[in-house]
Chains A and B, each alone.
Chain A
Amino acid sequence: MKATIGLLILFFLKLSTHARTIVTCPECPIKSVHEAYDLAQNCDSIIIKKGQYQIDNLIVKKQIAILGYENPRLISKSGGEILTIASNNVSVSGIIFKGVKTNFLKENAAIHILKVKDFEISNNVFEECFFGIYVEKGKRGSIHGNNIYGNAKVEADSGNGIHAWYCDSLEIYNNNIRGHRDGIYFEFVNNSKIYNNRSFENLRYGLHFMFSNDDQYTRNTFENNGVGVAVMFSRRIKMLENIFIRNWGHAAYGLLLKEIYDAEIIKNTFKENTVGVFVEGSNRINYQRNDFIRNGYAIKFSGGCESNRISYNNFLHNSLDMLVSSKLLDNSLSQNYWSEYAGYDLDKNGNGDIPYYPVKLYSYILNQVPESVVLMRSLFVEIVNFSEKISPQFTPKDVFDASPKMTINQ
């Protein structure tokens, strides 16, 4: 009984300490974040007030909340990492991080999350940091509302905005990421959700999956990256309602799929990308109700792709709808709307009566002789395409939409 009471007292003591907040500011008695951290115990909050703080890798091993008040700036003294989160249940919010320099030996990040669970990184700003947030073996964490702006110029000496490695059940949402190598990078990350983010002007990929399974990303916008999203060697990824826009350049794609299986690509918009979707060796993928608008190519298939279903999509004014550089097996095209389709619907069932062949001969010419891009839409090219359509010699006879829609799929 005594023991129980003793425990209870201990418990209440503990609760009373929970209310403690430690304030630090340049004019306060506690002037540095390190000092404040030393004073803190589990469940305490550290409030960092407005001001600049030089800081040298604070390793957080206590379950605390670090809160910024009126946008304090934490600036890396040595150019190395600023915070390393090495305890569960840590939250960091409202802080501006700055001064993490490029390092070729160590992937330095403003916040490094190391083998912990239940963290929350929210509403921070990362200015020109090598890596913004680096999650190593983290679980059940959430990263949201952050603005992560890098100034990457060259791929080789730039880092990622959010980098996750061997993680599970992360939630990443409402972030803006710009100017890094990859906006968000996932390697061996499973069961995670990425939504409502905006990833733009990153050198390589807006979002990058490697060896990650059962993840889902929805309603994100990927604009003007090297490649909007690259999904590689991953399974069961759901891609829903995202916008891939203006990813321009040689080898620039809205979405790059490489060796992935069982993915769902639904209700996305691919607009004005050099290639809307580039697919290499990917099987059992379901493309549905996507809009492909004014891309160079809407979809480019290369390498063996099996059992892909492409249906109810809208292909609107793409320079070329499709290029198939290898044999496609058991793929199906149906019920898509193609703005180039010039057929008719006599039986009034909403589907055109003659099939649509989306692969044109010019696609192959362009692939072989890139300079021929200047001949796009020329009368000669149209004639070549037309004669190929009449008697196909080079284009695959089995890639066609037997039931092209007469009106745009809603």
Chain B
Amino acid sequence: MIKINNLHKSYKKNKVLKGLNLTFDHKGILALLGPNGSGKTTLLKCILGLIIPDEGQILFQGKNIKSEFKYRTEIGYLPQIAQFPENLTGNELIDLMRNIKPRTNRAEELIKLFNLENELDKKMGNLSGGNKQKINIVIAMMSDDPFLILDEPSTGLDPLSIRKLKALLTEEKNRGKMIIVTTHIMDLAEDLADKVLFMLDGKIRYNGGMMELLDQEEEDSLENAIANLLENKKKV
């Protein structure tokens, strides 16, 4: 369970998070949505300890994460941009990560799933964007963490791989994990998520079930529902 109390963060004069209060205790997939600059990534980075909030606190399993790092053994993170050291091979990266986070290992299974067997001895600098992203996914998910934070997981993937990713995430959900996904692709969110967290200007605009959102906005697709939310904002 992740509990967030009154979270504030600003960069110089630009306020990015304006007093967030949240509780993630839902087993399943939560789609974190919102336009660029709405504070999605900042929120995720706060949870991961990459960004230190100005105010407020984040409790992970009841404990404040401030200047802690051990709690991250429970979290798998997929960063938005898959940029790896150019001169290391996939194998070396996986080895490095395995040594940092030495838990149940699903690397082989995931490598097979994404057909990466022949790519792992190549230097990262020589891999295509798609393959980098696949390795990114492998690294994020290989230690079988109960929490997963995925920032734009489908970037650069071909349709087949996207399909595999979806299947994988659904499977993980069924195994009782808590997964937070940000994405710009509404179809993906709609297919996967059972809950939606919509952010705008550093505040939460909607936090609830996917179906409830569609009902509330009287739309049949998430894309339109979100568009409505954005329209309303302009009107206000």
Is chain B in direct contact with chain A in the complex (CB below 8 A)? no
Residue positions of A touching B, CB distance < 8 A: none
